[in-house]
Structure 1
């Protein structure tokens, strides 16, 4: 049944219906995100409302091409035949005839968005609008260059491609990074929101109900402001506000209070909170959600943490959860808690949606909660991010209990006018803990006196720097009939969640207030900030002072009258300091300790420590900003190069959704991690990467590649080949699986370890 009106979809949606819907969605965005549109005008001098409206009106003109219409009509006729026999919607048809729907369009050999540009060449659309139309199906990249050169376009598509490429190549090296930032912002605004409007329209045409973007709303929940909250409220107009505040000072509400000031003043559309790791972001997202109902959480395992159980319990529909998860990934939610890696990765522009993430970030205010100052590799990346944020006029609040004075020069170099660190000086001189002993050791047996003291105390926290040492400590207690809580990164996401719940039950605030706190926790670095627990006695392996301050923040955390007892133990091998992971390691060579670790070791003493004395020690250790290694400098240069190379036209390779590295750049100085499934796979064929990732979140851990090689060699791990249907090539994907018995919910994948195995 041929229609006389042009079609927009094989479902029978007409061209007029679809374009009208996209225009309506674009206008909805201008109303709901007015702060963003106003900022765009200020930064670029151009009207994003007008540009977006034009892009929405004309983005699909290429669908009127006879070749496209003919193919779409044939697909529509096939649907009508199916409908006449079986009934049902187009979505039912897609489910019933997987792989068959839209097949004529796939063979039509024409990209409608390219023809849209060809048809409108004489209309003098601005380049940002042209790029938005050309990119709205993600085909403006080197890997799709051939589509612009197809014969059907008679050379006109290639002309437009060359124009875009010439414009893309105006920035030549990473030194042009700052020059490219505002042009990218100008182009990304139209490009990103056209796609949002188009996809929202398509979703609604499929029967989905989508809420409009929500506004940030926050009401301070307490009758009085604590000191750090007074600081951020009094100094919110600082473009980069640096705040040093001890752990437990009320930083979550401080962040929300600061953000409310930025948003009320029209300086930001939303709040983004960047955490050091996904473990810390999980915990913070829960805290933030207590004050704000619409909080997005995004990182590589956020789907499990936020949605899987809710879906299973039917508290949320799968599709709704997908939309919320996607909104968080795109930073579209009023508040998004994510990792710093997610923001850094968006600057690579190696995925089409990175343009949207970066644009939304540019219209946000950002809280960076803690930043490992000893880690020059990550710091170099963060400084690159701050350079971008300064150009985009993004307000930033960086809060930490361990922010040294020497960081000022580094942050000033990003362009921000920052002259001081604001300090929470309440209870500055109150003794927070007392270091009772500092000793070297090589074997666990040398620590028996301290470990027996933990048993006598009935509650204690022990920090080990490596998984190997954490497992040895666990075995020592197990041999004495005591089962401690072991927590490291080598647990599956469901078991991590159970571990955190168990830690809170045993050593959380409620347990202490109810006088039932009891248990021994053995933690690696992931337990430094992620779980709100406390004990009156702590044993910690030596670490840089900024990490030690975080660890000590869990001593007598819920009782200001107590002074916690800290014992620092220094791991050695053959009489030499064993610094893993705080240093540089080359396989077959010795560890080179991080200078901050050595300086901490030299300056720690047996004495009481207050926030003031910890800060003094922090400033002694970091009297100068850590010198950046060549590796860190080159890596950050690669990040800037990726941005300027991909700012209009994408690269040949496309990053996966959860990647935190590319071929030449990494967010962290961790090389060669890979996924290991902890049990046999029940399926070996997956529709797409997302389906595989869902299984990974439930049933896998990450291991360094050298450990995986060891595991395969000793027959602890084996290799399986799986198939992913939407993969570009038909080559199977190799995955690693642990043999039965290698993984245990109590100890994780901790049997397969080496002496230098950490995290």
Structure 2
């Protein structure tokens, strides 16, 4: 892929690239080569990298910071901006925070004074990220260019003359994919180039993205022939559409066998054996509650409970950063046999894409095929000897095996085939027909062969003909979810700006403030609420839960689904005046739910070990 990007015969004019290759094969480096060549030929003046999460954005920011100066002349001094909601918590970017200024009188609900608007403008670098020479952030910042947000025009102008690089494109759901198509069309109309990176992209999604770009260029949608080859590089210009099959590096060609567990006790036994043998392991659960249960069950039987670690999304930012850093040191690329031996990580989807971790053994709850491929990428990710130390030779550990925790396979399953065994998984991944197809395909294949069978694995579950194989008992659930997916795509079309109408009122359905980001760019089935944990000191003063270092209030926040956040106890009435004074002093807190977490009231608790959890009954 990288060699192809370097040697590709060049063509002038805007271009779209779609790079499909296995995880860890070097797609990002190939994209950076293409960026360099676009800049070198004067076809762009900058670049914006859009990632699916803040964690992946932070990782990309570090990689780009090491190389971006090479893309510009020595006389130029390009600027590099990190753009996401928690960018000021990234120590490498902390200097971007603007100091506070005096507040003045607010004139009415929904109105901003001059100082508040300017303060927000200068402190919020997300708006300006697309204007920077090089921007790195979440893909949301690009999607907002086609939504009726304030400063939408600024984002669209910022994308002009930029290369738009979107990583992990397959992570976009139907709603986000609809918005991304609109972005590609608008970007192409402005003469921009784009690069899309993916490891598990269904052909139907690729076809729609290519068609959107071609429409923006005023071209008739060209048929994108479905290719069995993988890896595959696609280039779209005003003159042609080219798909080039490529080889992949020998080091990333591998087979991961797949075996099944149907009882949680068997998984616990396997993890205990893993620790006793001096290996490290991970069990990826699909819900936080299931992860907490597994963590507690394993600790009760582990000879060394302190070597069992829990990681999920309901930790405050400070604790989450601590756990992430410890996981990278213990299971990361440079970890050794001494740091890894006997450690078990119980986690949720947070380790799926963001962190460069390597486990000797992995168990995963049943999930859609594309996510299982991502999870398997954390199994024997780096080459090690039999003890777990890094080596430059071939990996010397036994062949990797991904164990699935799943209901037993049934050729004619009932409608409750999944929910009766794994209700949490059934609630998170609601198309049980796709999960059944995933399990059937893996049983037929006996494992995951990458890259040789990558295309087959994905299309067997997400292909246009796949639904015909879903058994009758799961057809209704599948049809319900197909309807939901169609609704999401329709909602993307409803929310996005009607660019062809120009800047008139009828081009949108109302302008939104950036604080409603989750409403605009991500259509969650249940909204998330920011919860700020508060405690009282010995004198009764209100303090952030993590009262150490800069940004203590932000580091004391977590995201919780709305139904869970609503179960938190109400703020104590005797402390209402103190709360109001606190919000007056730190205005950003008014956009979160304050919780006096050390009061011990209610059915929900928080600890640095379990995160936000339900108290045992």
State the TM-score, normalizing by the size of structure 2: 0.71
The verdict on how the C-alpha distance between 1:671 and 1:753 changes in structure 2, with shifts beyond 3 A counting, is farther
The verdict on how the C-alpha distance between 1:695 and 1:647 changes in structure 2, with shifts beyond 3 A counting, is farther
Contact 1:677 1:696 in 2 (8 A): yes
Q: Which residue of 1 aligns with 2:229?
A: none
Q: Which residue of 1 aligns with 2:611?
A: 748
The verdict on how the C-alpha distance between 1:699 and 1:618 changes in structure 2, with shifts beyond 3 A counting, is same
Deviations 1:384-410 (A, max 9, x none): 322222322321111111123343322
Aligned with residue 169 of structure 2, among 354, 371, 376: 371
Matching of residue 454 in structure 1 with residue 295 in structure 2: no
Deviations 1:469-492 (A, max 9, x none): 111121123222323232222122
Q: Which residue of 2 aligns with 1:344?
A: 143
Aligned with residue 440 of structure 2, among 588, 596, 602: 602
CA distance in 2, matches of 1:285, 1:582: 33
CA distance in 1, matches of 2:418, 2:284: 17
Deviations 1:529-562 (A, max 9, x none): 1111101211111111111111111111111535
Superposition map of 1:83-102 within 5 A: none
Superposition map of 1:476-515 within 5 A: 476-479=297-300, 480=302, 481-483=304-306, 484-512=308-336
Deviations 1:364-423 (A, max 9, x none): 111111123683233222223222223223211111111233433222331436746425
SS in 1 for 2:135: strand
Q: Which residue of 1 aligns with 2:386?
A: none
Q: Which residue of 2 aligns with 1:73?
A: none
Number of corresponding residues: 503
The verdict on how the C-alpha distance between 1:334 and 1:457 changes in structure 2, with shifts beyond 3 A counting, is farther
Deviations 1:248-283 (A, max 9, x none): 112332222111112222222211111111122122
Contact 1:536 1:565 in 2 (8 A): no
CA distance in 2, matches of 1:494, 1:232: 41
Contact 1:282 1:530 in 2 (8 A): no
Contact 2:127 2:154 in 1 (8 A): no
Alpha-carbon deviation of 1:581?
7.4
Aligned with residue 676 of structure 1, among 531, 539, 551: 531
Deviations 1:617-642 (A, max 9, x none): 11222222995734213311222247
Q: Which residue of 2 aligns with 1:439?
A: 261
CA distance in 1, matches of 2:172, 2:407: 19
Q: Which residue of 2 aligns with 1:736?
A: 594
Superposition map of 1:210-229 within 5 A: 227-229=1-3
Give the gaps of 5 or more residues in structure 2: 70-78, 101-118, 215-220, 226-231, 234-244, 384-393, 409-413, 468-481, 544-549
SS in 1 for 2:90: helix
SS in 1 for 2:305: coil
Deviations 1:182-223 (A, max 9, x none): xxxxxxxxxxxxxxxxxxxxxxxxxxxxxxxxxxxxxxxxxx
Alpha-carbon deviation of 1:695?
5.7
Give the gaps of 5 or more residues in structure 1: 1-226, 586-590, 686-692, 755-759
CA distance in 2, matches of 1:445, 1:678: 35
The verdict on how the C-alpha distance between 1:278 and 1:373 changes in structure 2, with shifts beyond 3 A counting, is closer
The verdict on how the C-alpha distance between 1:296 and 1:521 changes in structure 2, with shifts beyond 3 A counting, is farther
Matching of residue 391 in structure 1 with residue 189 in structure 2: yes
Contact 1:252 1:287 in 2 (8 A): no
Matching of residue 576 in structure 1 with residue 417 in structure 2: yes
CA distance in 2, matches of 1:316, 1:669: 30
Alpha-carbon deviation of 1:714?
13
Q: Which residue of 1 aligns with 2:558?
A: 701
CA distance in 1, matches of 2:451, 2:338: 27
Q: Which residue of 1 aligns with 2:4?
A: 230
Which range moved further: 299-308 or 620-629? 620-629
The verdict on how the C-alpha distance between 1:344 and 1:408 changes in structure 2, with shifts beyond 3 A counting, is closer
Superposition map of 1:52-71 within 5 A: none
SS in 2 for 1:543: coil
Contact 2:81 2:129 in 1 (8 A): no
Q: Which residue of 2 aligns with 1:304?
A: 89
Q: Which residue of 1 aligns with 2:238?
A: none
Q: Which residue of 2 aligns with 1:164?
A: none
Aligned with residue 647 of structure 1, among 499, 503, 508: 503
Q: Which residue of 2 aligns with 1:528?
A: 352
SS in 2 for 1:712: coil
State the TM-score, normalizing by the size of structure 1: 0.58
